Amino acid sequence: MPSANSLKGMTNKFLFEISKRARSVQPSVTLAISAKAKEMQAKGLNVISLSAGEPDFDTPSYIKQAAIEALQKGLTKYTPVNGILELRKAICAKFKRDQGLDFTPEQIVVSTGAKHSIFNLLFALLNEGDEVAIPSPYWLSYPEMVTVLGGTNLLLKTDETTDFKLTPEILKRGLQEHTKILLLNSPSNPTGAVYSKEELLGLVKILKNFPRLIVISDEIYEKLIFDHQKHYSIAQLDPEIAARTLIVNGHSKAYAMTGWRLGYSACPTQELARAVSSIQSHSTSNPVSFAQAGGMTALEKGEEDARKMCEVFERRRQLLYEKIKAIPRLRPFMPGGAFYLFVNIAETGMDSVSFSEKLLEEAHVAVVPGKPFGSDRHVRLSFAASEANLEEASRRMADWLKKK
C-alpha cells in the first residue's frame, strides 16, 4: 500500500486519467453557448434565448398536487425498479388509447427521463461494434450514447429535399445487412419533421427486407403535432415490425414536466424489459417515487392541457416561421411538430457555430448551432419562448444580418 507521501509526487493528470469511454463523448457546444448566454444575462445584458429544449409552461397544477399528496401520504420510499404498477398500467392504457397498442405492465420500464430510457435500451442491446442507423440531422445525444456504449453510428443523411425524412430509397441504400438498430424520432428534434402514416408504411416495406433489424422509436414529441396531423408510431402499422420495435416516450415535453425526470419504454418482450430493468437496478433504481404519482395523473388527466399547450406552440411556430422566412439568406424549414425551427444559414457564408457565437455576442440572441445535430448548415431556434421574445429576436437577427 503506497503511503500518502509517496503519492504526493503524482500529478492529478495521472490519478484522474479519464476513461477511454468518457473521452469518446464530445464536449457539448450547446452547453457552451447557453453558459455564455447566462453569463451575459448575469452581466445585465438583455439576451433573448431561443435555445430552450423544454416547454416554457409550468406543469399543470393538478399534476403537482398529485405529487404533493403522494409525498404527504408517505410515498417516500423505494418503489419497484421499473416503476409503480399503477403507473405502468396507466402507460399501457395510454398506448391502447393513443396508438391502439396492447402492452402489459411487465413490458414497461419507467426511467428517469426518456433520455435514460434510450440509454438503458441501447445498453441492453449493443455489443462492442454493433451498428446503429440514425437519420441525420439527429438529436445530439443519440450518437454520443451509441459511441459511449461501444457501438458505431451509421448516419443516414436527409435534408430539405426529403423534408428531413428518411425515404424508402435512403433507407434501402443506407441499411447494411449487419445494422442492428434503426433509431426513429417523429416528431423530430431538431427539425420538427413528422412522418405521415403513408411515409412510415413506405419505410415498413424496406424494413421487411431486414428481418433482424430492431427499431427504437422515440416518440417524446408525440403530443406536439400541428396542422391537424395525427401521430403514428411505426409499431401500430404492422405486427411484424411491432414485434421488433421498442417505443420510448415520456412526460417532459407533453405535460411540461422536464424537471420531473420521467420517461418510459415499451418492449415487445418481457425478457427485454427485465434486462432493461436489471440495468436500471444497478444504476439509478426506481424513478423518483412521488414524481411517478404526478406522472400517473398526467397520463390520466393531462390531455386537455397537452392540447392547449400544443395550440400555443402552433401559433408561435407560424409567427417565427414567417418572421425568419422574411429575412434574406435564411431558409427556415416548416416544422410539423415539436417546438424547433431548423433554419438553413448556408447563404450567409457562416458555419453554424460562428453564426451562433456571433449572433449571441453581437445581437444578443442565443440559438443552437446545427453542427452537433449533424448539420453545420443550420441553426435551431426554439419557439418555447413568448411571442414578444420571438418577434424581438427575429428583428435583432434581421438587423444583424443586414450588416454581414
Ligand X SMILES: Cc1ncc(COP(=O)(O)O)c(C=O)c1O
**Least distance between ligand X and beta carbon 307 (Å):** 20
**Lateral strand order in the sheet of 214-218:** 108-111, 263-266, 245-250, 214-218, 181-185, 131-136, 152-157
CB neighbours of 250 closer than 8 A, spacing ≥ 6?
113, 114, 117, 220, 262, 263, 264
Show the DSSP H helices in 326-385 as ranges: 352-363
In the bound state with ligand X, the residue whose beta carbon lies nearer, of 186 and 394, is 186
Is residue 294 within 8 A of residue 70, CB to CB? The reply is yes
Candidate ranges 33-41, 107-115, 128-136, 374-382; the one touching ligand X (CB under 6 A): 107-115
Q: Which of residues 177-216 bind ligand X (CB under 6 A)?
A: 185, 189
**Least distance between ligand X and beta carbon 291 (Å):** 12
- C-alpha to C-alpha distance for 222 and 254, rounded to whole angstroms: 7
Site string for ligand X, 21-60 (x = CB under 6 A): --------------------------------x-------
φ, ψ of residue 183 to 5 degrees: the values are -100, 115
Binding ligand X (rule: CB under 6 A), the pick from 137, 174, 250, 370 is 250
Show the DSSP H helices in 223-341 as ranges: 239-242, 270-281, 289-301, 303-325
Site string for ligand X, 137-176 (x = CB under 6 A): --x-------------------------------------
In the bound state with ligand X, the residue whose beta carbon lies nearer, of 352 and 394, is 352
In the bound state with ligand X, the residue whose beta carbon lies nearer, of 231 and 323, is 231
Binding ligand X (rule: CB under 6 A), the pick from 98, 163, 199, 218 is 218
CB neighbours of 30 closer than 8 A, spacing ≥ 6?
51, 140, 368, 369, 372
In the bound state with ligand X, the residue whose beta carbon lies nearer, of 152 and 258, is 258
Q: Is 113 in the site for ligand X (CB under 6 A)?
A: yes
Short-list 394, 387, 349, 348, CA closest to 367: 394
Residues that bind ligand X (CB under 6 A): 53, 113-115, 139, 185, 189, 218, 220, 250, 252, 258, 263
